[in-house]
Structure 1
């Protein structure tokens, strides 16, 4: 059951709606008159299609986990399969988060923080914090994953659904990015482990950015949204008719098995992403 209970952040004519009871996702991002995200109102059943709208955090893993199985040293764990035949996008998207710091106005904009205690079906106690920092020119989001007792492998990232059109008759969104390589995708939609030259779209593919994710979504000359992150990987998905995804994440799909990041009680996993927008004909270069 969906419980929207939005928390609103504003800065100038920019408004962000956070839905802590629906996976602590962004339910809306409005820049002036334009909504940039596919919203819950645009899909048939948001309660069932939790992966299909807004922009949600992927944690404590990102993307698919092969058949829902992963190891922590000699111990094997099984996660629920929800994107057959794999476990997908973490447990946080189906969870209710607690508001840790209500929206507060700063000199630059508005901030808010939310917390989730990791629980079943994730097998290790832990805590996730998500911080939003909004200004009239950008939105910075930070995820931190802490181990409360035992160490465990983890990933973190975000799964936004950007509209392909901001308005009827407007320009279609295009992507501008230059990854170091593309992970070859197998028939099971997992990376094979082979690096290949980036291929033309359409995509449902993982790309490597060793110096940090840098992708620009551009709606003609009307608006450009630059997605940057200290994550070194991004999945790009543009096979649906009305929306596309640019998903920064700390490891590739199935990374719990192929490239695990160990979270310990003294070493959390922390990643951030920044969305910077420019209106009119301004273009990013470099």
Structure 2
């Protein structure tokens, strides 16, 4: 079962049974997202990227998560779970997902998808049913490298304040370095918010923005590139925990705005 939204020449499909991912984003009939059950654009929750060896600390307590990308735990549980619809119109839909075992804390995640003629806005909230707990949230879109419009590969433009040095284990070492040229599978600090422009020459320009202060850019594959706004860096449950409390839920959002170039 999926949910369809449309506005002007834009069409979005949300596959709530498969991690509430955006399985399709079409502009004037052109698909922007890599297709397949593992791709599209999925929410990362209750953590983003890798947790070192699948273990994170909450005070003196150590929790072990399933190691689904050895030797680490990757991208949270939300992308693998069915979500429940919580209302929809022609251009907006809401979904919920209850955190459950093996995540050690009860809570609820809400995702709202809003489509306009020239933009898609995704909003996610994480709230607790009881005790406070560390969490992260973000999105992992797989944008097609080549839209097949004859203009060639997508160009990525952004101006981060720093790059997190990546260790051999693909985790940040804790050292901030000057941004380096790609290809990337790297996390960048953007204290003024995410602002990344993807340009498919002669076809489309898409700008990914978010108030979140971290973005991972991954462009090491031939089929797609990823621009991932997120609330903290990889392994952030250990290195930069953000507590979800009864009075302070975690809320993140991202907007993708496009402009036709032809």
For residues 231-269 of structure 1, the C-alpha deviation after alignment (integer angstroms, 9 at most, x for no partner) is 100110000011000000000000000000000112100
1:60 correspondence with 2:41: no
For residues 20-41 of structure 1, the C-alpha deviation after alignment (integer angstroms, 9 at most, x for no partner) is 000000000000021000011x
1:162 correspondence with 2:143: yes
Q: Counterpart in 2 of 1:122? A: 103
Deviation at 1:221, TM superposition (A): 2.9
Q: Counterpart in 1 of 2:94? A: 113
Q: Is contact 2:149–2:203 with CA below 8 Å preserved after alignment?
A: no
Q: CA RMSD in A?
A: 0.9
For residues 179-232 of structure 1, the C-alpha deviation after alignment (integer angstroms, 9 at most, x for no partner) is 000000000000000000000000000001001000001001320000000110
1:96 correspondence with 2:96: no
Q: Is contact 2:187–2:214 with CA below 8 Å preserved after alignment?
A: yes
Q: Counterpart in 1 of 2:67? A: 81
The total of aligned residue pairs comes to 262
Match 1:197 to one of 167, 178, 182:
178
Tell me which stretches of 4 or more aligned residues in structure 1 moved more than 4 Å: none
Q: Counterpart in 1 of 2:239? A: 258
For residues 152-171 of structure 1, the C-alpha deviation after alignment (integer angstroms, 9 at most, x for no partner) is 00000000000001116332
Measure, in 2, the Cα distance between the counterparts of 1:231 and 1:138: 18
Q: TM-score, normalised by structure 1?
A: 0.90
Q: Counterpart in 1 of 2:28? A: 32
Q: Is contact 1:91–1:121 with CA below 8 Å preserved after alignment?
A: no
Structure 1 gaps, min length 5:
41-45, 282-286
For residues 75-114 of structure 1, the C-alpha deviation after alignment (integer angstroms, 9 at most, x for no partner) is 1100000111000001101100000112x14xxxx11100
